[in-house]
């Protein structure tokens, strides 16, 4: 089940190890009453939105919902993923993203963030619509 709101934001904040600052949108996957994966969308700009992720329960349904929201509803051209988890880097690359760099100490002393850019036309779960 796809869920959103403050319980999801709290869950992902605890896993990432830092407090979230509004504005943001939190969405996650709940299985058997437990959140298993979550996404925080923040730093909305005209063509880009920043995404931080945590968890391991990534379903096709959650990924489709993410792609439809950011590319379809928000209309951005790219999503910028930030993560310190090698598994998430792998997931983002399989979705069509490319590693673009490292942000040193982004999550605290010695905790670097990998930056992955996902363009709308490369997104595995989004069909580019002709306007």
Question: Would the pLDDT of 127 be above 80?
Answer: no
Is 95 within the bounds of a domain? yes
Could you tell me if 42 and 52 are in contact, meaning their C-beta atoms sit under 8 angstroms apart? yes
* CATH code for the domain in which residue 91 is found: 3.40.630.30
Percent of the chain residues past pLDDT 70, beyond the cut:
95
What pLDDT is recorded for position 88?
Answer: 83
CB 40 within 8 A of CB 52: yes
Mean pLDDT of 64-81: 90
For residue 112, what pLDDT is reported?
94
Domain count, the chain: 1
On whether residue 131 sits in a domain, the answer given is: no
> Is 31 part of any domain?
yes
Mean pLDDT of all residues in 75-101? 91
Question: Is residue 60 predicted with pLDDT exceeding 50?
Answer: yes
On whether residue 46 sits in a domain, the answer given is yes
> What does pTM read for this prediction?
0.80
Q: Are strands 2-4 and 34-42 parallel, antiparallel or unpaired?
A: unpaired
Residue 81 within any structural domain of the chain: yes
In a domain, residue 129? The reply is no
Q: Does position 23 have pLDDT exceeding 90, yes or no?
A: no
Q: Is residue 58 part of a domain?
A: yes
Q: Under 8 Å CB-to-CB from 82, ≥6 apart: which residues?
A: 50, 51, 52, 103, 106, 113, 114, 115, 116
Range of the domain at 8: 2-122
According to DSSP H, which parts of 1-131 are helical?
6-16, 60-67, 86-94
Look at residue 104 and tell me whether its pLDDT is greater than 80.
yes
CA 50 to chain centroid, in Å, comes to 7
């Amino acid at each position: 089940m796809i869920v959103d709101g403050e319980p999801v934001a709290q869950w992902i904040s605890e896993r990432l190890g830092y407090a979230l600052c509004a504005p943001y949108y939190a969405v996650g996957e709940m299985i058997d009453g437990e959140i298993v994966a979550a996404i925080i969308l923040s730093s909305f700009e005209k063509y880009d939105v920043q995404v931080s992720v945590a968890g391991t329960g990534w379903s096709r349904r959650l990924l489709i919902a993410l792609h439809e929201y950011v590319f379809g509803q928000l209309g951005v051209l790219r999503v910028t993923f930030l993560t310190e988890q090698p598994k998430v880097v792998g997931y983002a690359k399989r979705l069509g993203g490319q590693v673009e760099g490292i942000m040193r100490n982004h999550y605290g002393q010695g905790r670097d963030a990998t930056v992955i850019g996902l363009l709308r036309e490369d997104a595995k779960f989004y069909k580019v619509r002709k306007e």
